[in-house]
Chain A
Amino acid sequence: NAGVTQTPKFQVLKTGQSMTLQCAQDMNHNSMYWYRQDPGMGLRLIYYSASEGTTDKGEVPNGYNVSRLNKREFSLRLESAAPSQTSVYFCASSEAFPWGTGGNNEQFFGPGTRLTVL
């Protein structure tokens, strides 16, 4: 049981290049999330998928796209990387989305991807 896995662990891009961050979970969770973490800013939600087949914007979606490929996998794509996207990216999953109606919505995080855009 690997939990949440992310690839790659590290990446350096040049401005304008594109890349896809991969995330997979083996806990049969319904909801998945992408966050970025910057010094002094805390974790900020980029996109989320409350359930398979749905995706929605979070707090900072500009410059990113996502795909919920199946229940296990949720990828994040940078179409044209910018230096402002230099950050640590975390994928997370939870059994249920926190709509406020109960369910186990504890989040489990992957190990992160450290991205530098030059």
Chain B
Amino acid sequence: RKEVEQDPGPFNVPEGATVAFNCTYSNSASQSFFWYRQDCRKEPKLLMSVYSSGNEDGRFTAQLNRASQYISLLIRDSKLSDSATYLCVVASGQFYFGTGTSLTVIP
């Protein structure tokens, strides 16, 4: 079983839509959780860390559910510039990356 699993998508949504991504992890002892964004042919960049209490940064909200071992990312009021691949990352002894979820926001 993979350490981290994500739905690869693709997600194609119109501008202004709300979209949610989920990611599950297998190690219940995992300590740190992150969402990274990766643009085509670029390096991954941190979008936000995910805290136990959940956290929000503008249009982005991240949630952690330890009981069910999943993390989520909600994007509200999608912009064209949100088009990218979103990587779920879980840290437990090392960093484990999901394969990424592709998002395209359509005008």
Contact = CB atoms under 8 A, between A and B. Distances in A.
B21 interface: no
B91 interface: yes
B93 interface: yes
Contact of B97 (A43, A48, A98): A43
6 contacts: A40-B8, A44-B97, A90-B43, A98-B91, A110-B43, A111-B42
Interface of A: 33, 35, 40-45, 48, 58, 90, 97-100, 105-112
A24 to B, nearest CB: 15
Interface of B: 8, 29-32, 34, 42-46, 49, 87, 89, 91-95, 97-100
Contacts of B98: 42
A45 B95 contact: yes
The 8 A-B pairs at the shortest CB distance, nearest first, are namely A98-B91, A42-B99, A109-B43, A100-B31, A43-B97, A42-B97, A109-B44, A111-B43
Given A90-B44, A111-B42, A111-B43, A106 B93 contact: no
Instruction: Tell me whether chain B's interface is mostly helix, strand or loop, or mixed.
Output: loop
Given A43-B87, A100-B29, A106 B34 contact: yes
A61 B1 CA distance: 20
Contact of B95 (A41, A107, A108, A111): A107
Given A41-B99, A42-B100, A106-B46, A98 B34 contact: no
Given A42-B87, A107-B46, A110-B43, A98 B99 contact: no
A46 to B, nearest CB: 12
A110 B89 CA distance: 17
Nearest to B8: A40
Given A43-B87, A98-B31, A109 B94 contact: no
